[in-house]
């Protein structure tokens, strides 16, 4: 079996090598010619899998995307050709939540506010938004959530009503929240369309001092309207990881964003390996072979595995210290701007993704709290770290 795999999929040889011949191809270079003799295709989000790509792939019987999102895959076209399809729901959700927490902590430090004093609105409470809601709530941060499809699907009885108590419509979130985090899929039509969900009118309605963070899909925000608000009134802040027209993103909007990153919020090694492993298991099932490898076989030990903390620092300082011991979103912001200057926006955007440095997730860091820091356990465990208190 010949398996064409995006060159940025980690552990491809380890996982797929026991199922067949692995041929690595850069994601944007995967074309019809590359699939002429392929039996299976494994991609990430930058490869558009559609009729044009499938036109000359008579042997192709399986397509897997090592990502949560599937809007780059024409599932109808695959079904029409009898090609099985699998995605990796939830694989990088923890990494995206890490990105959100680090970005907001960075803005709080720059602008002189405390994260604990802000109300955060979460739009889309699926794999990512649901985890974000859980972590922020565990940290003691006030949240509102918006997810109309989920509200409709829930069985709103006693337990269901309690689950949905913090849910509201989008305009209520805009009116009542200091931070708006978008984590929706891209839905082009229908009663719950998300295309241009944050349109010019809603962007204009954001209160001065608000933060808009988009780590969902770029086309869910009217980029032109956001750029005009940032350039004109300059009274809100934007954290943008996803963009319209990637990789040829709006450089003017990137320059105005407080944090601008090249669609890497979910780019932890752990998240990528989960995606690889989920598609490996799906392909093994498809061909009727056992999946012998586990995630423990793939993930290496973290470079920073343990911190010991005592008193002397404020909760905000401790949180930033721990976050940045694992990941710092400023690195990705600086990298995008540096490579855009060197290579141009589109090439620089892709270069950052292709050469992305090793990044782990907060859960890989164990934090031991000595006597003077024990009261920080709820904050740090809520943020996603493994926390233990030292015995007397």
pLDDT tens column, 177-196 = 999 999 999 999 999 999 99
pLDDT > 70: percent of the chain: 97
Out of 70, 87, 104, pick the residue that ends a domain: 87
Tell me the C-alpha distance between 95 and 107, whole Å.
18
Give me the catalytic one of 263, 320, 353, 360: 263
Verify that 182 and 111 share a domain, yes or no. yes
Counting Cα atoms < 13 Å in the Cβ hemisphere of 327 gives: 35
**Stretch 220-224: mean pLDDT:** 98
Verify that 44 and 176 share a domain, yes or no. no
Out of 35, 65, 87, pick the residue that ends a domain: 87
> Contact 264/356 with Cβ under 8 angstroms?
yes
Buried b / exposed e along 320-337 (16+ C-beta atoms within 10 A): bebbebbbbbeebbebbb
Q: How many domains does the chain have?
A: 3
For residue 81, the enclosing domain spans: 2-87
Out of 87, 121, 136, pick the residue that ends a domain: 87
Question: Residue 156: pLDDT above 80?
Answer: no
> Contact 213/239 with Cβ under 8 angstroms?
yes
Residues β-bridged to residue 2? 21
137 assigned ligand-binding residue: no
241 assigned ligand-binding residue: yes
130 assigned ligand-binding residue: no
What pLDDT is attached to residue 164? 55
Tokens 């397509």 identify what position?
A: 63
Verify that 119 and 249 share a domain, yes or no. yes
pLDDT band at residue 162 under the 50/70/90 scheme: very low
CATH of the domain at 48: 3.40.50.720
CATH of the domain at 327: 3.30.1370.170
Give me the catalytic one of 18, 134, 246, 316: 246
Residue 143 forms part of a structural domain? yes
Verify that 79 and 117 share a domain, yes or no. no
246 is catalytic: yes
Tell me the C-alpha distance between 43 and 147, whole Å.
28
Residue 357 forms part of a structural domain? yes
Verify that 213 and 77 share a domain, yes or no. no
> Contact 149/170 with Cβ under 8 angstroms?
no
267 assigned ligand-binding residue: yes
184 assigned ligand-binding residue: yes
Considering all CA atoms of the chain, what is the largest pairwise distance in Å, rounded to the nearest integer?
69
320 is catalytic: no
What's the pLDDT tens digit per position in 288-310?
A: 999 999 999 999 999 999 999 99
Give me the catalytic one of 61, 150, 202, 217: 217
Verify that 250 and 106 share a domain, yes or no. yes
**Stretch 248-255: mean pLDDT:** 98
What pLDDT is attached to residue 166? 72
What pLDDT is attached to residue 63? 98
pLDDT band at residue 265 under the 50/70/90 scheme: very high
What's the pLDDT tens digit per position in 231-247?
A: 999 999 999 999 999 99
**Stretch 214-220: mean pLDDT:** 97
Tokens 């398996």 identify what position?
A: 3
What pLDDT is attached to residue 391? 65
Verify that 73 and 109 share a domain, yes or no. no
Question: Cα 11 to the chain's mean position, in Å?
Answer: 20
What's the pLDDT tens digit per position in 37-93?
A: 999 999 999 999 999 999 999 999 999 999 988 989 999 999 999 999 999 999 999
Question: Residue 375: pLDDT above 50?
Answer: yes
147 assigned ligand-binding residue: yes
Verify that 44 and 125 share a domain, yes or no. no
Residue 290 forms part of a structural domain? no
Pairing of strands 237-240, 211-214: parallel
Question: Residue 159: pLDDT above 50?
Answer: no
What pLDDT is attached to residue 160? 46
Verify that 223 and 327 share a domain, yes or no. no
Residue 187 forms part of a structural domain? yes
**Stretch 196-207: mean pLDDT:** 98
Verify that 99 and 174 share a domain, yes or no. yes
Verify that 131 and 205 share a domain, yes or no. yes
Residue 269 forms part of a structural domain? no
Verify that 363 and 252 share a domain, yes or no. no
Residue 123 forms part of a structural domain? yes
Residue 295 forms part of a structural domain? no
350 assigned ligand-binding residue: no
Residue 196 forms part of a structural domain? yes
Average pLDDT, the chain: 94
The continuous run of DSSP H or E covering 368 comes out as: strand 366-369
**Stretch 365-377: mean pLDDT:** 96
Question: Residue 157: pLDDT above 80?
Answer: no
353 is catalytic: no
pTM for the model stands at 0.90
């Amino acid at each position: 079996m010949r398996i064409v795999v995006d060159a940025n999929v980690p552990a491809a040889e380890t996982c797929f090598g026991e199922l067949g011949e692995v041929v690595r191809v850069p994601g944007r270079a995967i074309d019809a010619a590359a699939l002429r003799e392929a039996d299976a295709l494994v991609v990430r989000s930058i490869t558009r899998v559609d009729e044009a790509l499938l036109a000359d792939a008579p042997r192709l019987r399986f397509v897997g995307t090592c990502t949560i999102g599937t809007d780059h895959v024409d599932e109808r076209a695959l079904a029409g050709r009898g090609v099985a399809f699998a995605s990796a729901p939830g694989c990088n959700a923890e990494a995206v939540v890490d990105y959100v927490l680090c970005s907001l902590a960075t803005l709080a430090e720059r602008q002189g506010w405390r994260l604990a004093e802000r109300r955060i609105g979460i739009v889309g409470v699926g794999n990512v938004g649901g985890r974000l809601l859980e972590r922020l709530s565990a940290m003691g941060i006030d949240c509102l959530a918006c997810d109309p499809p989920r509200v409709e699907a829930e069985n709103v009885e006693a337990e269901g009503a309690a689950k949905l108590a913090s849910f509201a419509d989008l305009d209520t979130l805009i009116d009542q929240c200091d931070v708006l985090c978008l984590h929706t899929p891209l839905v082009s039509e229908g009663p719950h369309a998300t295309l241009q969900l944050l349109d010019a009118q809603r962007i204009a309605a954001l209160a001065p001092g608000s933060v808009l963070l988009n780590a969902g899909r770029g086309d869910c925000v009217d980029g032109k309207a956001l750029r005009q608000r940032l350039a004109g009134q300059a009274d809100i802040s934007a954290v943008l990881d996803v963009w319209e027209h990637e990789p040829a993103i709006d450089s003017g909007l990137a320059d105005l964003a407080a944090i601008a990153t090249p669609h890497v919020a979910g780019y932890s090694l752990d998240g990528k390996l989960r995606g690889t492993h989920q598609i490996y298991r799906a392909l093994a099932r498809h061909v009727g072979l056992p999946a012998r490898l586990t995630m423990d076989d793939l993930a290496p030990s973290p470079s920073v595995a343990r911190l010991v903390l005592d008193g002397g620092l404020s909760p905000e300082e401790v949180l930033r210290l721990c976050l940045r011991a694992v990941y710092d979103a400023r690195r990705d912001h600086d990298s995008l701007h540096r490579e855009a200057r060197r290579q141009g926006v589109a090439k620089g955007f892709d270069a950052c993704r292709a050469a992305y440095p090793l990044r782990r997730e907060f859960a890989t860091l164990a934090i031991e709290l000595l006597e003077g820091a024990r009261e920080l356990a709820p904050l740090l465990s809520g943020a996603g770290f493994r926390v233990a208190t030292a015995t007397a």
